[in-house]
Amino acid sequence: MSFNNRSRNYFISFLFIIFLIPSLIQSQVSLTVSNTSGKLGEKLIPLDIKISNLADTIAAFQIWLQLDRPDLVKFQEGAVLARYHYDTSSFIMPSWSADIRSLGATGHDILITSGSFTPPFIIPPQNDSLLIRLYLEVVDSLVVPPTDSIVNIHIETAFIDNFSFTDPFGQSVGITLVEYTDSTCYECTQWVNDTCLSWQKVFRVVGQPIDTSLCDSLAIFLDTMAILDSTFWQFTYGTFTLLPDCGYTNGDFDIGSLVSLVAYMFSGGATKTLGEADYNCDCTIDISDLIGFVGFMFNGGASPGCTTQ
């Protein structure tokens, strides 16, 4: 098989288009959970949920968030019993109200429901816009320090009943229907000769196939199921990091603070606490902290202490 120059050029162009198409396809709506951090006992730690929306006008939404470390952190409760705190001033639609509750009643998950029957609605485009700001609170103490201080925060999408975005006409956004083959097994409970007078359905044990040996009759049919359209949605989950109870917490670090630290380290000056001198949050005071403070004061270095990421 051979190609002339024109055929070769067409063939190369065809290959270019084939490989280019996937890179041009992008999700229409993306949700991003921010990363955040805090120390033991800390309250009102902001957790942002951001939205990028190129597609549809949104009149209502429901999101189910879950934390995987109930021993470390939970969502901050609000003033109303069994309701959870959010920042009304930065909410994407200030005229909407949001009902935020924990399905597990422990604060380690929250279901956010909000919307409006009348305008204004969420009209695209949004580009990494703040959808809602929630708050976390850290446990006051731990009997045993954790070996892993990371809490994963994810949006639960496996249960479609607890995740939905709808347009002003009540249509679900980013949902597709798939067909699948289903079956129902029936067992005869009363025979008269070869005639069955009474039937009962044989129920399937969750996670196991039907025992067809019990089936006197088997009905096979097509059914449909709603699932999220994976080409439409993109999710970026966040984390919470438990910071060590160390780090500089003494306010502004100035030249007097630097002189005092040098005196403590080299001239027998007054003792410094971690809150006064632990620049890099490693729970020790050493030359690396002094270098860090000098860099912060004179070279535009990072602020001292365990700053929220």
Domain assignment of residue 16, yes or no: no
What stretch of H or E contains 151? strand 150-155
Is the pLDDT at 297 greater than 50? The verdict is yes
Residues 36 and 136 in one domain: yes
pLDDT of 139 above 70:
yes
Looking at 227, 254, 269, which one is the last position of a domain?
A: 227
User: Tell me, what CATH number does 122's domain have?
Assistant: 2.60.40.680
Does 7 map to a domain?
no
Total count of domains within the chain: 3
Q: In what order do the strands lie in the sheet with 195-202?
A: 195-202, 175-192, 217-228
Last residue of a domain, one of 194, 227, 260: 227
* Residue 20, pLDDT above cutoff 70: no
**Percent residues over pLDDT 90 in the chain:** 57
Neighbours of 125 (CB within 10 A): 9
Q: What is the mean pLDDT of the chain?
A: 86
Same domain, 298 and 221: no
- The parent domain of residue 220 ranges over 175-227
Domain match, 181 and 302 both: no
In a domain, 22, yes or no: no
In a domain? residue 263: yes
